[in-house]
């Protein structure tokens, strides 16, 4: 496997159909301003989350090798993640929920390669490297939580989706892409949000996937742990957002004890959450997951499993004893004597030991399958349907489940075996034999074409970064500050970084006063900047006071 990313034992096990989503991390494409955005968010998060996050968060930052100062490189992350049995890959924005969960089942973190732009520094609905690397990665250092993520992936990837689920996924992906594009008109965003609202109001009967995604949202993304009166943050959406992590503590956000009831609480990615769920422990997460899994077609079997598989309209696998049948199921009938099924134009029959029978796609409309322990019962059902005897095609002396196909009679497969349907799940039983592949999303995340003016600003960010790393003349900071006042009067993050360096190194007090006054003026001119600048100054001056205590 050579996809331009660091290999480890975990990544080597990834099936080829998941590699369809993997991209090279565009590390050289990150600007110095992007690194400054990462650094600002991480400094604020570590300062604040040390008080309100689950203890494994700060420990996990160290264990997973995530730097506070620079955007992490996938190569470095994978060298460290392999020590705890995990890995990471870069992807292009949102990927389908089923694929996302299957990555989790293989203990692979999916990390969106993009980073939010400075205008969305507090929160973005788009998945980005801050959310994935700074939110998800640290918490998996906790073994019990890591087990929950893996098991969630194993179970969630088997859940049945509906066509509406996929429409909603595409609509959310579209919104996340256009919101991160600075050239998008406000009317386009409003239209996309209204489309999502309409879809959410017209989803019909919730699918297994939509309900388990709710559990994922209220735990993995927005989970709290403890009690409703005394809790800590562990959800990645909270750990990666300096806005959400503070807002969630407000009394207006209802705190509810976590239970399987959370599966019936839908969520909206475009707004703050009106309620959050508090689990008593990571062990409880696994207990609720088991409870949900027991209600899925995967484990319920029978008529429920058959109807759920048919209703999905997608490739599904049905379990009969040690046999598994895969394909798009169009019709079916279950009784004590035999099972009859009509598949679409392709059928795969698998046993634990491997593939027994696999149709290639053909021009035939469907495949008929009979399963029964008694050949006479199968014969009777076939006689009634087609009016001819098939008994001679089923040697009664054969013991055990055997597949017999006779193409001269059309597309008819007869199986001597256990006719009881014990379960059903989404996807083929053997993805490799099935030659499963995912078509990468048609709509790609937009790569911003920076103006020459923006590129020049980024060079100043780079200079300041180098000076902080003691590679450059400190006196240059004052020259850059004068340029910012003249040419980039609305930029607040770079003056903040200059102020931090001068304050930490106790240099040029008169310039410190000027820069602080400039930042105070920016605060007064913009509600948007007020909290960001205030929090930035407070952290700089807190660090200064700690040094001089």
Cα separation of 165 and 98, whole Å?
Answer: 11
Tell me 531's DSSP state.
H
Cβ–Cβ under 8 Å, residues 292 and 260: yes
Cα separation of 115 and 26, whole Å?
Answer: 11
Angle at which helix 143-156 crosses helix 208-216, to 10 degrees, equals 160
Q: Tell whether 221 is in a known binding site.
A: yes
Tell me 206's DSSP state.
P
Instruction: Please give the distance of CA 544 from its chain centroid, rounded to a whole number.
Output: 39
Tell me 175's DSSP state.
H
Cα separation of 356 and 416, whole Å?
Answer: 13
- For the chain, the first-to-last Cα distance in angstroms comes to 54
Cα separation of 349 and 117, whole Å?
Answer: 49
Cβ–Cβ under 8 Å, residues 511 and 484: no
Cα separation of 111 and 349, whole Å?
Answer: 35
Q: What is the 3-state secondary structure (H, E, C) of 244-274?
A: HHHHCCCCCCEEEECCHHHHHCCCCCCCCCC
17-36 burial code (b ≥16 CB/10 A, e <16): bbeebbbebeeeebbbbbbb
Q: Tell whether 131 is in a known binding site.
A: yes
Cβ–Cβ under 8 Å, residues 371 and 382: no
DSSP 50-77: HHHB-THHHHHHHHTT--SSSPPPHHHH
| Helix, strand, coil tally for the chain in percent (to 5) | 50, 15, 35
Cα separation of 134 and 72, whole Å?
Answer: 9
Cβ–Cβ under 8 Å, residues 109 and 146: no
C-alpha radius of gyration, the chain, whole number: 28
Count helices and strands (H / E) in the chain: 24, 17
Cβ–Cβ under 8 Å, residues 141 and 64: yes
Structure tokens of 428?
């083929």
Tell me 181's DSSP state.
-
Cβ–Cβ under 8 Å, residues 125 and 112: no
Phi, psi (degrees; rounded to nearest 5) at 470: 65, 40
Q: Tell whether 132 is in a known binding site.
A: no
Instruction: Please give the distance of CA 269 from its chain centroid, rounded to a whole number.
Output: 13
Cβ–Cβ under 8 Å, residues 355 and 433: yes
List residues forming the annotated binding site for Fe cation: 131, 136, 221
List residues forming the annotated binding site: 131, 136, 221
């Amino acid at each position: 496997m050579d996809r331009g990313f660091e290999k480890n034992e975990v990544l080597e096990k990834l099936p080829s159909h998941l590699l369809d989503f993997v991209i090279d991390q565009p590390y050289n494409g990150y600007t110095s301003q992007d690194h400054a955005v990462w650094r600002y968010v991480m400094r604020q998060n570590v300062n604040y989350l040390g008080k309100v996050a689950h203890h494994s968060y700060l420990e996990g930052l160290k264990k997973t090798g995530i730097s506070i100062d620079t955007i992490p490189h996938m190569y470095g992350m994978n060298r460290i993640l392999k020590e705890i049995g995990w890995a990471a890959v870069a992807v292009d924005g949102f990927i389908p929920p089923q694929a996302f969960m299957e990555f989790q089942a293989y203990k692979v973190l999916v990390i969106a390669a993009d980073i939010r732009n400075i205008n969305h520094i507090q929160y973005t609905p788009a998945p980005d490297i801050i959310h994935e690397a700074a939110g998800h990665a640290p918490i998996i250092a906790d073994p019990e939580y890591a087990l929950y993520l893996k098991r969630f992936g194993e179970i969630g990837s088997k859940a049945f989706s509906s066509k509406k689920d996929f429409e909603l996924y595409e609509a959310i992906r579209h919104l996340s892409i256009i919101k991160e594009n600075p050239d998008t008109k406000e009317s386009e965003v409003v239209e996309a949000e209204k489309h999502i609202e309409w879809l959410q109001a017209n989803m019909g009967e919730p699918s297994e996937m939509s309900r388990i995604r709710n559990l994922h949202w209220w735990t993995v993304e927005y989970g709290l742990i403890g009690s409703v009166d005394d809790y800590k943050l562990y959800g990645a959406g909270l750990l990666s957002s300096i806005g959400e992590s503070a807002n969630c503590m407000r009394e207006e956000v209802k705190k509810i004890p976590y239970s399987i009831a959370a599966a019936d609480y839908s969520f909206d990615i475009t707004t703050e959450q009106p309620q959050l769920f508090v689990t008593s422990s990571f062990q409880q997460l696994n207990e609720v997951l088991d409870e949900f899994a027991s209600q899925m077609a995967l484990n319920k079997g029978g008529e429920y499993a058959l109807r759920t598989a048919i209703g999905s309209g997608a490739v599904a696998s049905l379990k009969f004893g040690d046999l598994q049948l895969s394909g798009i199921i169009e019709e079916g009938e279950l009784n004590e004597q035999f099972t009859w099924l009509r598949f679409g134009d392709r059928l795969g029959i698998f046993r634990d030991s491997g593939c027994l029978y696999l149709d290639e796609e053909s021009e035939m409309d469907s495949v008929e399958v009979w399963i029964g322990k008694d050949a006479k019962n199968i014969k009777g059902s076939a006689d009634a349907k087609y009016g001819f005897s098939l008994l001679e095609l089923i040697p009664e002396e054969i013991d055990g489940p055997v597949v017999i196909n006779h193409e001269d009679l059309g597309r008819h497969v007869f199986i001597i075996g256990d006719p009881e349907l014990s379960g059903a799940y989404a996807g083929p039983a053997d993805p490799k034999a099935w030659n499963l592949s995912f078509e990468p999303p048609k709509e790609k995340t937009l790569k911003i074409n920076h103006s020459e003016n923006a590129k020049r600003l980024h060079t100043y960010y780079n200079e300041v970064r180098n000076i902080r790393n003691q590679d450059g003349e400190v006196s240059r900071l004052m020259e850059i500050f004068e340029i910012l006042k003249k040419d980039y009067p609305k930029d607040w993050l770079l003056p903040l970084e200059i102020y931090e360096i001068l304050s930490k190194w106790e240099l040029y007090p008169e310039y410190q006063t000027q820069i602080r006054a400039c930042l105070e003026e920016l605060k007064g001119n913009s509600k948007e900047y007020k909290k960001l600048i205030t929090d930035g100054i407070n952290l700089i001056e807190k660090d200064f006071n700690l040094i001089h205590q």
